[in-house]
Structure 1
Amino acid sequence: MAFYRADTEMASLLGELLNQLAKQGRPGLHKSIAITWIRYDCPNPESCSGIGTGWSEEKLIYPASVVKLIYAVAIEAWLQKDLLLNTRELQRAVKKMIVDSSNDATSLVLDLLSGTTSGPSLFGERLQAWQKQRLLVNEWLKTFNWAELKGSNCCQKTWEDGPYGREQDFYKDGYDNRNSLSTAATARMLEGVMTNGILSPPACNRLRTYLSRSLDEKHRKENPENQIDGFLGEGLPKGTRLWSKAGWMSQVRHDAAWCCPPKGNPMLLVIFSQGRQNSTDTDLLPNLAKKLINYHMEKDSS
């Protein structure tokens, strides 16, 4: 059972939108995209459940930098259990990982979460011990007992170039051990952060501070990698408050967004798109965001 109440009208609209977008020069779109879309009927979703729909939302997909949301939540969970010291360097790394999507910062974060480091290949018992440690985030995810997290894999660093040494070995042949998430799992994790439902309120507040994005055009022009343009934020109306984490590389373009329009209740939208064509399509995610939030605002005002 989904963590939200299914809505047939939303499902119909989403299907129609995908049909329209596919006809606009996007063959195979239905098979290369996954979506979780949730609306809330109250301004404070801590006191109400969402209504929504999904498209291939349980499909496991390489999440690119969206996995950094999981690692950020894990850091706060480790801190609550006194498994880490809350140092300025740790917070600097988490902030850079989310705000700027820094891969270097992510490397340190995963090292701290797992007690591992990158380096030359390992063998025998040393390799087995290293691999066991690197799977600690996966073991933590299992404790949630969420159906949405079944099969998820969050144990790899993110790279500018690619893994080497023991990191390359850990990916296994054909990259079989690469990270994987579904839009449903990502949406439920982001909902937990935004509603104080997964960690203490102070911890969730820290994460929300990092996830907050500005839609101001001047700010976006100053930062070409703003995680707005070409992503969901670009399709949102002026005055919308946004918290999000995007992911992009040569084969995927993803975004996970919690948005509050100028008037109305929050909306949660997670979209994963795969394939080289989708990865370079800077109109797909903004178009979907625009159509879906317009529907959301119309429903709120009716």
Structure 2
Amino acid sequence: MLRFFKSEIHSRPRDPRRARGKGAVPSRRRVRTKFAKLKYRNILSLIAGAIAIGWIFTIPFRTRLPPEPPVILAQQAISPPTIETSSNLADRQSEPTFSYNIKTPSSPVYSQELQGIVDEAAKIATSKGLSAEPLSITLLDVSNSQAHSFAGYQNQTLRFPASVAKLFWMAAFYSAIEKGTITQRESAFKNDLEQMIRISNNDAASRILDKITDTESGGRLAGEELQTWLKKRNQINTFFQSAGYNDIRITTKNYPIYYLRQEQPVGRDLQLRGDPSQPIRNQVTTDQAARLIYEIYTRQAVSSIASRKMAYLLTRDLDPKAWKNDPSNSIQGFLGESLPPNIYFGSKVGYTSSSRSEAAFVRTLDDRAIYILVVFADDPAYAKDETVFPAISRYVFDRLNARGPGS
């Protein structure tokens, strides 16, 4: 019996493939191992693919979008009712067809408490060795829905606004679009609008101002041709002046303008400035800038839709991760730098080697503080000092935030 089994075992023919080594049939254990490796490899590939697809499809949701700009309830202007007369009708008929829509500004109540805050803010500048003479401040508190209040320091003095003028050009642009004086679609100007307001690009602003006024920069003009060009460019002034923005001047472009290869005004733009010894500069008061910011955030400027679009363009992200490494940021050295990042902040800054300015809207998430702060400083010392605007801003914020909502 034993011999039988032995002989049977030895007499079983060998599988020629097993004897060849390299092409030998693998054992069941090896087959299972290879199958397992293949199975796990496929699973890992599927997981990696799912992660990649998920990452792609969630990009729109992971992008940091600006918050919905807040809305503040407008206060009605305190003025007597208009009685229609023949002279009133004649006045309305003589108004320029291209004009700002809000003819009567709101009438906030003067606040002695806010005046104390503004006066202390001005002292912050003088404590740094800066002159108070070139400084203007407007503070408008809108946290109390029943009554908005204000105070200011040299707030009705016309000053050079630098790129804060672009805030006004933005409003005029949207009005021209809605009234049809600009016949092209708004989408054609989307990039220029964003460049002009978000990073204060002068090239974009030049094109926008040209489009609003139907003018363009170029060589010198003479006679009737010059007068026509000047009248067209001055439309941007009458647009606001006819609505009570008294003596505002915002006709001059900001320089340098690279696509024109101009470091400063030349040709007809230089003629616009007049006497070189006393050139006509853009001039705006902090009250006027505060008024326009107020009318944007109360959804009155041009229209509710246009105001919302403008508020989006003004919205800034105060998270240092969003602006620290951006050389064109409008936060460092300005009003937003010293504020907490978890608030709503919308602003337009202006800066040259001889001036620093900003118009800003601030709202805490709990509504403890809701206000507009505008600071203009037309002096080289302020341009060099990157600490004074943040210091003023933080002081105002802390004082208003400490009062609580509706105080």
- How would you bin the TM-score normalised by the shorter chain? over 0.9
Which amino acid counterpart does residue 267 of structure 1 have in structure 2? Y
Q: Identity over the aligned pairs, expressed in percent?
A: 27
1:38 corresponding residue in structure 2: 140
1:150 corresponding residue in structure 2: 246
The 1-side partners of 2:146 and 2:384 are apart by 37
**Is 1:77 equivalent to 2:175 in the alignment?**
yes
TM, length-normalised to structure 1: 0.92
1:191 corresponding residue in structure 2: 294
How many residues were matched structurally?
Answer: 293
2:219 corresponding residue in structure 1: 120
Matches within 5 A, 1:21-32: 21-26=125-130, 28=131, 30-32=132-134
Which amino acid counterpart does residue 350 of structure 2 have in structure 1? G
**Is 1:66 equivalent to 2:137 in the alignment?**
no
Off by >6 Å, runs of 4+ in structure 1: none
SS at the partner of 1:253?
strand
1:170 corresponding residue in structure 2: 272
TM, length-normalised to structure 2: 0.69
Kept after mapping to 2: 8 A contact 1:99/1:211? yes
SS at the partner of 2:337?
helix
1:237 corresponding residue in structure 2: 340
Kept after mapping to 2: 8 A contact 1:40/1:267? yes
- Tell me the alpha carbon deviations over residues 235-262 of structure 1, each in whole angstroms, 9 at most, x when there is no partner: 2123111110000001110010001123
Kept after mapping to 2: 8 A contact 1:235/1:288? no
Kept after mapping to 1: 8 A contact 2:241/2:247? no
- Tell me the alpha carbon deviations over residues 169-196 of structure 1, each in whole angstroms, 9 at most, x when there is no partner: 1111135321110000000011101111
Which amino acid counterpart does residue 300 of structure 2 have in structure 1? G
Which amino acid counterpart does residue 203 of structure 2 have in structure 1? D
Which amino acid counterpart does residue 170 of structure 1 have in structure 2? L
1:18 corresponding residue in structure 2: 122
Could you tell me which runs of 5 or more consecutive residues in structure 2 were left unpaired when the two chains were aligned: 1-77, 79-105, 257-262
User: Structure 2 residue aligned with 1:255, among 355, 358, 362?
Assistant: 358
Aligned-CA RMSD value: 1.6
- Tell me the alpha carbon deviations over residues 208-243 of structure 1, each in whole angstroms, 9 at most, x when there is no partner: 111110001111123122111100001212311111
Point out the structure with max Rg over C-alpha: 2
SS at the partner of 1:110?
helix
Kept after mapping to 1: 8 A contact 2:117/2:399? no
**Is 1:283 equivalent to 2:387 in the alignment?**
yes
Kept after mapping to 2: 8 A contact 1:263/1:297? no
SS at the partner of 1:67?
helix
Quickly say closer, same or farther: Cα 1:156–1:17, change in 2 above 3 A. closer
**Is 1:109 equivalent to 2:208 in the alignment?**
yes
Kept after mapping to 1: 8 A contact 2:314/2:347? yes
The 2-side partners of 1:68 and 1:83 are apart by 19
User: Which piece of structure 1 moves more, 156-165 or 182-191?
Assistant: 156-165
